[in-house]
């Protein structure tokens, strides 16, 4: 059985026309599953019974389920069970600008970043497009609200699951689908250079974020093995190419690790690396876990780092901290479940 949430509108239109139905039937089905959020194809009152029977025989309406939910002020973390019993997470955050959801794109991750809980458990498989879409639908149902911003920054490396992620963006952005504006969708990558270049040509108006986390290659290789394949010079060239093609600003994510990457020298190196680029830096207080030895930088060190960037005309923000009472680190809830087994 196929999952209906794996299909873009154009794919569903092509399928229905091939089967002898009308192209507009796809828009009808999209309206029922994404606007009215039906739980059964039999609820579609304006669709021919013949087509409903076909859908019942060949498609399912979703396959993931919520198995755990943790909450704190303005944040909720969800653990999902997939159809093969694998598990992934999504994190809801309430901001003054709206309701944001950070979703996963893979079961586990092969990037092996030293500070990251997700990378401790290696990649089992890519998520299907439907399994990404359903994270949104499930959280909206659980919390009885509409998600306004999506960040692909949960478990996994989105550009290591490129084709499914691109389909996901099409479905989420589609006016007849979930209907999220492209500027409200952010894709984060650890720096897979060929995919950044491909993404630049895709004509998708979504935001691009780069997980940087270090100001020089020597340090970045210790923290992020991907730097061995795509060192900073190569990465920065690709990002400049992306900015040149899209005229869009890029976000650099920078996790603040105590006495590791938070020195004055690191800040000045970062200034030199990013000077003149259409970008901004998002400083992220580290979420400590019992499995990894890194510690969060002190507020004083974060502010000193921030001030150096600011004084050197680098656009910079400090991410608000969420989830002190939940398994806040990305992948932590899944890791706890896996180890409990």
Residues designated catalytic = 89, 330
Quote the strand ranges of the chain, DSSP E.
2-3, 59-60, 65-72, 75-81, 87-95, 98-103, 106-107, 125-126, 149-152, 185-189, 207-211, 250-256, 279-285, 316-318
Q: If you search the block for the tokens 């089992």, which residue do you land on?
A: 124
338 strand-pairing partners: none
What does the DSSP 8-state code read for residue 326? S
CA distance 126 to 264: 39
Neighbours of 200 (CB within 10 A): 19
Token pair of 151, please?
């960040």
Q: Would you say 61 and 43 are in contact if contact means Cβ atoms under 8 Å apart?
A: no
**At which residue do the structure tokens 């959801």 appear?**
101
Structure-block tokens of residue 133? 């879409």
| Euclidean distance between CA atoms 154 and 312, whole angstroms | 31
Question: CB count, 10 Å around CB of 132?
Answer: 32
């Amino acid at each position: 059985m196929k999952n209906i949430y794996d299909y873009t509108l154009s794919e569903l239109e092509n399928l229905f026309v091939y089967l002898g139905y009308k192209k507009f039937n796809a828009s009808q089905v999209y309206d029922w599953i994404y606007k009215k959020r039906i739980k059964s194809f039999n609820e579609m009152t304006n669709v021919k019974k013949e087509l409903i029977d076909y859908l019942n025989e060949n498609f399912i309406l979703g396959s993931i389920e919520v198995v755990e939910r943790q909450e704190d002020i303005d944040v909720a973390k969800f653990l999902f069970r997939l159809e093969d019993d694998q598990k992934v997470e999504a994190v809801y955050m309430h901001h003054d600008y709206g309701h944001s959801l950070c979703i996963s794109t893979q079961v586990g991750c092969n990037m092996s970043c030293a500070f990251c809980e997700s990378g401790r458990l290696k990649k089992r498989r890519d998520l299907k497009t439907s399994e990404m879409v359903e994270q949104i639908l499930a959280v909206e149902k659980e919390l009885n609200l509409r998600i306004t911003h999506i960040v692909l920054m949960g478990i996994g490396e989105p550009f290591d699951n490129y084709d499914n992620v691109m389909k996901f963006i099409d479905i989420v952005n589609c006016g007849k689908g979930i209907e999220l504006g492209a500027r409200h969708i952010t894709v984060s990558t650890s720096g897979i250079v060929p995919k950044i270049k491909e993404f630049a040509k895709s004509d998708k108006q979504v935001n691009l974020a780069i997980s940087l986390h270090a100001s020089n290659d020597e340090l970045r290789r210790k923290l992020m093995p991907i730097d061995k394949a795509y060192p900073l010079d190569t990465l920065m060239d690709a990002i400049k190419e992306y900015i040149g093609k899209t005229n869009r600003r890029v976000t650099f994510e920078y996790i603040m690790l105590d006495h590791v990457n938070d020195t004055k020298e690191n800040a000045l190196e970062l200034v030199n690396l990013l000077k003149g680029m259409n970008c901004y830096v998002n400083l992220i207080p580290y979420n400590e876990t019992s499995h990894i030895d890194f510690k969060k930088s002190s507020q004083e060190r974060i502010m000193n780092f921030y001030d150096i960037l600011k004084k050197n005309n680098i656009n910079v923000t400090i991410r608000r901290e969420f989830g002190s009472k939940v398994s806040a680190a990305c992948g932590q809830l899944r890791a706890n479940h896996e180890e409990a087994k």
